[in-house]
Amino acid sequence: MTNLTGRVREAFRGDKRVDADALVARLDAVRRFLTAVDGLLPDAELVPAHTLVERAGTRLALSRDHTVVALAGATGSGKSSLFNALAQLELSPVGVRRPTTGVTHACVWGPLAGANQLLDWIGVLPRHRFVRESALDADDETALHGLVLLDLPDFDSVQRSHRLEVDRLLGLVDQVVWVVDPQKYADRVIHDSYLREFHRHRDVTVVVLNQADRLSPAEVPRVLDDLRRLLDSDGLTGVPLLSTTAVDPAGMVGLRGALERTVAERQAALRRLAGDVDTVVAGLDELVGSARPAAGPDNPTVDGLNRALAGAAGVPAVSNAVEQAYRHRAGAATGWPVVRGWRRLRPDPLRRLHLPGPTGGRDDPAESLVAATSVPEPSAAQRSALGLAIRAVADRSAADLPAAWPGAVTSAARSRLGDLPDALDRTIAGTDLGLDRRPLWWRVVGGVQWLVTLAAVVGLGWLALGYALRALGLPALDNPTVGQVPLPTLLLLGGLLAGLLVAALTRPVVRWAARRARARAEERLTAKVALVGDEYVLTPVRTVLDSYAQARDALRDASSR
């Protein structure tokens, strides 16, 4: 397996710009992945990818001129104070009762109209939206034009609704400024539940140690060092870390500068989404492997399937009937004419299976569309052999696939099992068994039989006439002789003997030819049955393997940068 996760984890964009087109292409690849695996993998595994595709599509379609930055942190860390200090207005109440902020407040630098749709999507109520522009007092705010700053409720709240609101918003915003204070900066909840989870969003993460004024100047660097160490162990190496003092404008310079740079770059939204794609791709990584899977099962497995299908379709029984039918028909055509009629009375073995009789194939095309043969139903053993063969096809095909796929391959292999019996029966009924044409040699031998029989009849008649004349006292016939033997006797005995001799000589030839007819029919039937196996078992399996290959390629495209 490739370790996409590993590759993704290494990808820290830092100052590297995210190309919008490349990001759109990666999102498109995630979309292709979802299309390829639709219905094949458990939906629960795909929720983050679906969410990403939907969110990213909306975010990119909405304003790209705005950068949405959220102030997130524990209650009392000073989010609202920082929010107000940045806006230089008392927009979000700051209080002593904890938690204070229950709903998200937004402040837009620049015209509100352009940001309204974005705020509708983010879900900030109109009455909690504020505009910095109307209160613009100087050009010094233009550097923040395009900033949409959010003051979030506390994430470690005793109020469940606050936590849900924070979690929802953290999934939507472009950049997060994590606000910690000197008392709680090492709190496990902040690190384990939030900061660590954001390690793939390092390049849209800023951490501020607020209330720095509560520390002595000597303590600030020490606490910052300690916090940096914690951030490193959270996987947030390299993220900007600043100290702020919300109650003193001088203590806001660093954060303000950082926000101005973010707004100027107009990269945060793209970087955030790129981080989301990284996260989703890493989550999907174990669903696909590295090796390109085989296009289908190997030949011995397919042969095994075809054998099992042939057994279940009654190919041995039909081939057997072909051999018997050949002997039956050849006997009727070449046998001694005296007993031929008696042979004809016996039923044709193929007719008994409702397969094409001596007159040839089916005349009515509609008849071949329905299962109409009387080939015996497959035995329990044949049925279970077929089940095992289909299982083997699925197992062999899925051998190289990761754990999520064999189930889909097995379902595909069995998906048309219910249609197989009819399809096999129709195929058997529609296969040319090679008995339609009467071989020329049958006619030659048949003709010879008629000739020698005729000779015997002529001889018999001749002798009978001689006896009759003698009995009536009439002059006897002057029978010609061949050597010592009178010709009529020779004709009668020779004819009879020749007939028996031809019949005796023909029998082994018929047996041999019947075996050949059987082998030929078996070959044709097996080939036709293999086509059914291909359509009903192998094609669905190949479709899944193909989807897998597409999913794998798509995920590779989504992970590359």
Interatomic CA distance for residues 478 and 468, integer angstroms: 14
Tell me the pairing of strands 205-209 and 67-73: unpaired
Q: Which stretch binds ligand GTP (CB under 6 A): 70-78, 137-145, 456-464, 521-529?
A: 70-78
Considering the complex, state which of residue 73 and residue 495 has its C-beta at the smaller distance from ligand GTP: 73
Is 99 among the residues that bind ligand GTP (CB under 6 A)? yes
| Binding at 547: pick from ligand GTP, Mg ion, none (beta carbon under 5-8 Å per type) | none
Considering the complex, state which of residue 73 and residue 182 has its C-beta at the smaller distance from Mg ion: 73
| CA distances, 478 to each of 219, 461, 462 (Å) | 151, 15, 11
210, two tokens: 């607020």
Is 292 among the residues that bind ligand GTP (CB under 6 A)? no
Q: Interaction with ligand GTP in 369-388: which residues (CB under 6 A)?
A: none
Nearest distance in Å: CB 251, ligand GTP: 7
Q: Which residue is nearest to ligand GTP (CB)?
A: 78
Is 78 among the residues that bind ligand GTP (CB under 6 A)? yes
Contact with ligand GTP (CB under 6 A): which of 67, 211, 267, 559? 211
| Binding at 96: pick from ligand GTP, Mg ion, none (beta carbon under 5-8 Å per type) | ligand GTP
Query: Other CB atoms closer than 10 Å to residue 166's CB: what's the count?
Result: 21
Interatomic CA distance for residues 204 and 258, integer angstroms: 11
Is 81 among the residues that bind ligand GTP (CB under 6 A)? yes
Instruction: Please name the residue that has the structure tokens 């096999």.
Output: 424
> Per this entry, what is the length of the chain?
561
Residues that bind Mg ion (CB under 5 A): 79-80, 100-101
Give the DSSP H or E segment for 223: helix 219-233
Q: CB–CB of 270/23 below 8 Å?
A: yes
Q: Interaction with ligand GTP in 128-157: which residues (CB under 6 A)?
A: 153-154
Residue-wise DSSP of 502-539: HHHHHHHHHHHHHHHHHHHHHHHHHHHHHHHHIIIIIH
Nearest distance in Å: CB 97, ligand GTP: 8
| CA distances, 82 to each of 48, 56, 59, 440, 507 (Å) | 32, 29, 26, 105, 108
Considering the complex, state which of residue 186 and residue 498 has its C-beta at the smaller distance from ligand GTP: 186
Contact with ligand GTP (CB under 6 A): which of 76, 296, 499, 540? 76
Query: Total residues contacting ligand GTP (rule CB under 6 A)?
Result: 24
554, two tokens: 């798509």
Contact with ligand GTP (CB under 6 A): which of 26, 31, 66, 79? 79
Considering the complex, state which of residue 154 and residue 522 has its C-beta at the smaller distance from ligand GTP: 154
Q: CB–CB of 166/155 below 8 Å?
A: yes
Q: Interaction with ligand GTP in 405-464: which residues (CB under 6 A)?
A: none
What are the counts of helices (DSSP H) followed by strands (DSSP E) for the chain? 20, 9
Alpha helices in 99-198 (DSSP H): 112-122, 160-170, 188
Q: Which stretch binds ligand GTP (CB under 6 A): 60-68, 208-216, 219-227, 355-363?
A: 208-216
Q: Interaction with ligand GTP in 234-263: which residues (CB under 6 A)?
A: 245-247
Contact with ligand GTP (CB under 6 A): which of 100, 373, 506, 559? 100
Nearest distance in Å: CB 166, ligand GTP: 10
Closest CA to 24 of 52, 63, 66, 5: 52
| Binding at 154: pick from ligand GTP, Mg ion, none (beta carbon under 5-8 Å per type) | ligand GTP
Residues of this chain that interact with ligand GTP (CB under 6 A) are 73, 75-81, 94-96, 98-101, 153-154, 210-211, 213-214, 245-247
